[in-house]
Structures are given as structure tokens and as C-alpha cells.
Amino acid sequence: MDWCCHGPFCVFDVETTGMSPARDRIVELAALRVECDGRRSRFHSLVNPGRPIPRSVSRIHHIDDAMVADAPDFAGIGGEFLRFIDGATLVAHNARFDLGFLQESLNRCGLPLWQGRTLDTVRLMRTVYPGLPSYRLQTLREIFQLDAPDSEFQEAHRAAADVDWTLQLLKLALTAAAGRVSPQS
């Protein structure tokens, strides 16, 4: 049985102006949908947060005010994103963070909140591969020697690249949970 037969899965990631879903805003939203038959489709958009992006945050994800100046606001893409993820299980690395921003943004725009299933690859990896030194995405990238992302944005802390690495972790975790692979040391 192939790991994706449990789907469809929609792996998503956000980049933001800060750490608080109530005070901060999304500046980038990316997702990769994997159907049960393995077909894939992508969603990606920069998002105008309607406020300046702090320089300290821009240094992390390399998204600045000029890059989002002509981007749609979340209200302009929220409905499209809900249609993209409809019927799938949402997957994120540290899902509480990404889902918190998604739900707050949907609520702020008067769009329906996400009511579907959500998987957190941090929790999955801790369960399937206990005792690793860290479960940060970049650390797991190194430990499991994850492939370079398929997206045009191949740097860490860009939503599209982080989505690709999170999908690889999901595949590793589900395959290992099925007993196909023994944990790497």
C-alpha cells in the first residue's frame, strides 16, 4: 500500500510578519496537494499583509515590503486556498503555528474556518523517530538528507521550499509507521 493512498494530503506552509496570529499577518502561502493516485498540484502566493514587514523577520524568510506591494491581500486568495484544500488532510510542520495563522486570517476575512483533518509532521516524526536531537525542519532536512525542493524557491524559510521538505517528512513518517523502513540513526 502506497503512503499517498491515505490522502488526499495538502501540505502547506506560511511565512509571516511575526509570531502572533492575532497581531501579525501572512506574507506567503504555499501548498502542495497530493491526490490518492499520486497526482500533485501546487498553490503559491505572496500576500500583502497591509503593514510593514519587520527587517528582523525579512532577514529570516527574505520577503520584503517591495516583494508584497502588488500581491493580493489574504481576502483576495483565502477563498481560492479553501477550494484548493477542500477534501484533503492539511499537513504542516509545527501545524499549530501555520494553522493558527490560517484560521485567524480566514476569520478576519469572514471566510469559513478550516474544519477538516490536520496532521503535524513534528508530532509524526517524534512518534516514528523518537530521540532525535531536534525536530526543527532544517535539522530533519540534514538528518534525513532530504532532496532539494521542486519549487522555484529553494531556500529555507520560503513557504514553497518548506512545503517540499515537509512532504518528504510526511512520506518518511507514513512509510516508517507502516513498518517498511527501520529508523535511521
**95-108 helix and 74-85 helix, angle to the nearest 10 degrees:** 120
Within a domain: 103? yes
**Please, which residues have CB within 8 angstroms of residue 97's CB and are 6 or more apart in sequence?**
14, 19
- Residue 63 belongs to a domain: yes
Hey, which bits of the chain come out as E strands?
Answer: 9-16, 26-34, 40-46, 89-92, 118-120
Task: Count how many domains the chain has.
Answer: 1
Nine-digit cell string for 113: 474556518
pLDDT confidence bin for 44, thresholds 50/70/90: very high
* Mean pLDDT within 51-61: 96
CA distance 80 to 175: 31
pLDDT, tens digit, 9 for 90 and up, residues 113-170: 999 999 999 999 999 999 999 999 999 999 999 987 765 655 667 899 999 999 999 9
Q: Tell me, what's the pLDDT at 1?
A: 43
Give the domain extent around 120.
3-177
Residue 102 sits in a domain whose CATH number is 3.30.420.10
Which residues have CB under 8 Å from 72's CB, separation 6+? Answer: 45, 47, 48
Q: Has residue 182 been placed in a domain?
A: no
Range 31-47 average pLDDT: 96
State the pTM of this model. 0.91
Please report whether residue 184 resides in a domain.
Answer: no
Residue 36 placed within a domain: yes
157 is catalytic: yes
